[in-house]
Amino acid sequence: MATYKVPVISGDGIGPEVIAEGKKVIEAAGEVYGFNVDWIHMPFGADHYVATGETISEESLKELGRYRAIYLGSLGDERKVKAGILEKGVLLKMRFYYDQYINLRPVKLLDGVETPLKNKTSKDIDFMVVRENTEDFYVGLGGRVKKGAEKQELELKRDIYAVKFNLDIETDSDEIGYQIGVVSREGAKRIMEYSFDLARQRRKHLSSVDKANVMTECYGLWRDVFTETAKNYPDVQTDFNFVDAVTMWFVKNPEFFDVVVTPNMFGDIITDLGAMIQGGLGLAPGGNVNPKGTSMFEPMGGSAPKYKGLNKVNPIATIWAGALLLDHLGEKQAADAIVKAIEANLKQGKVRTYDLGGTAGTSDVGSDIARIVKVQGQI
Ligand code: IPM
Ligand code: MN
């Protein structure tokens, strides 16, 4: 029987509660489909930072880099650690360190879930956002400069760029803050190729989302690479969308979309909108994927510290992320069975958390989905 070693970072706030349910369901699927999971628990998060001053060490990054998939709860607790430290020091750190350039975010309305969109059903809302995950405004290149400051030399750390910027900032302002968005040809190409391949497996329609009418340099390059790549995929229908307009189309015509490829920051924004039209953050999973390296699967929502320990929040996003993780490990049947079980739970509508109008606890929902996985697999 296959045994997978999977590092788990439960993290902060509700992280440990939802991860417990994700593990429960994955283990149930393991019983049915014949595999074991060895969970390797990692302590990173607010408490670990307060106790040790460490976000995540180089040594731990190396250690975790030996595995194919990490299961992540959520990070951050502003009551303990200033916002940004753990997000940048652990989450973004891992996305960059493992070069997880694909951020997969399904936007899929499941039957039995209410969408705030009038007259839309599960037939209308089923697309995949592929968020580029290692470039754009997330590269960490920026600074704050006070009047009269000297010339600054900034170096972009990632190998694929190896770029140095010499910035001479003259300003009449007392102080300016700036942030540089970077799109590289290689970085754009690999995400486009992944997205076109994915579109080929789906409804053969790929939409690019950018803002090439204003940020003409970085998103101009993005569009060029999109157009060049499209030539190798004549069977895939394509279009360009400006990000502001796409927020309208997601609401008005979600059925138009199949696969959406977008730079990092716009991807961050439009996937919260995507989560809302599929029923809320409690139902939105995400995968940070490096097909040849270490990937990481997580719920899209945050740590919600005020709900910690209340057994209240919806674990479905985390359970669904667990299905994405199993799919990534090659356990496709088990992954499909988990998604089916989530669908069945939602369709039955009896065991649901407060966000979906129910009164069940986090653990009740996890147990119900685990039960359905076993019933469907006849164990
Ligand atoms: C997300 C989150 C992160 C992001 C934050 C927590 C750094 O919002 O995964 O969407 O901006 O990518
Ligand atoms: Mn986000």
Q: Where are the alpha helices (DSSP H) in the chain?
A: 15-33, 46-52, 58-64, 85-86, 93-97, 185-201, 218-230, 243-252, 264-277, 316-328, 332-348, 362-376
Please tell me the residue having the least CA distance from ligand 1 atom 7.
87
Q: Which contacts (CB < 8 Å, 24+ apart) does range 37-40 have?
A: 37/3, 37/4, 37/5, 37/6, 38/3, 38/4, 38/5, 38/6, 39/6, 39/7, 39/8, 39/71, 40/5, 40/6, 40/7, 40/8, 40/67
Ligand 1 centre and the CA of 19: distance in Å? 18
Q: What is the pLDDT of residue 165?
A: 77
Q: Which atom of ligand 1 is nearest to the CA of 264?
A: 12
Can you say how many angstroms the Cα of residue 202 is from the centroid of all Cα atoms in its chain?
20
Ligand 1 centre and the CA of 301: distance in Å? 9
Superfamily name and number for 1-110+279-379: Isopropylmalate Dehydrogenase (3.40.718.10)
Query: How many Å apart are CA 188 and CA 193, to the nearest integer?
Result: 9
Domain with CATH 3.40.50.2300 in the chain: 115-125+181-278
- Is the predicted ipTM greater than 0.90, yes or no? yes
Phi-psi region of 125 (alpha: psi -120 to 50; beta: other; left: phi over 0): beta
Q: What is the pLDDT of residue 4?
A: 98
How many other C-beta atoms are found inside a 10 Å radius of the C-beta of residue 232? 10
**Angle subtended by helix axes 185-201 and 218-230, to nearest 10:** 40
- Which two three-digit tokens encode residue 77? 């607790």
Prediction pTM value = 0.95
Q: Which of 160, 163, 13 is nearest to 75 (CA)?
A: 13
Q: What is the pLDDT of residue 157?
A: 64
Please tell me the residue having the least CA distance from ligand 1 atom 10.
268
> What is the pLDDT tens value at each position of the chain, 379 positions in all?
899 999 999 999 999 999 999 999 999 999 999 999 999 999 999 999 999 999 999 999 999 999 999 999 999 999 999 999 999 999 999 999 999 999 999 999 999 999 999 999 999 999 999 999 999 999 988 888 888 877 777 777 666 666 777 777 777 889 988 899 999 999 999 999 999 999 999 999 999 999 999 999 999 999 999 999 999 999 999 999 999 999 999 999 999 999 999 999 999 999 999 999 999 999 999 999 999 999 999 999 999 999 999 999 999 999 999 999 999 999 999 999 999 999 999 999 999 999 999 999 999 999 999 999 999 988 6
Please tell me the residue having the least CA distance from ligand 1 atom 4.
268
Ligand 2 centre and the CA of 268: distance in Å? 5
The domain 115-125+181-278 is placed in CATH, from the list 3.40.50.2300, 1.20.120.140, 3.40.50.1970, 1.10.150.20, at 3.40.50.2300
Q: What is the pLDDT of residue 379?
A: 65
DSSP 100-160: --EEEEEEEPPTT---SSTT--TTT-EEEEEEE-SSBTTS--EEEEETTPPPEEEE--STT
Q: Which of 331, 335, 303 is nearest to 319 (CA)?
A: 335
- Which two three-digit tokens encode residue 28? 């149930």
| DSSP 8-state code for residue 240 | E
Domain with CATH 3.40.718.10 in the chain: 1-110+279-379
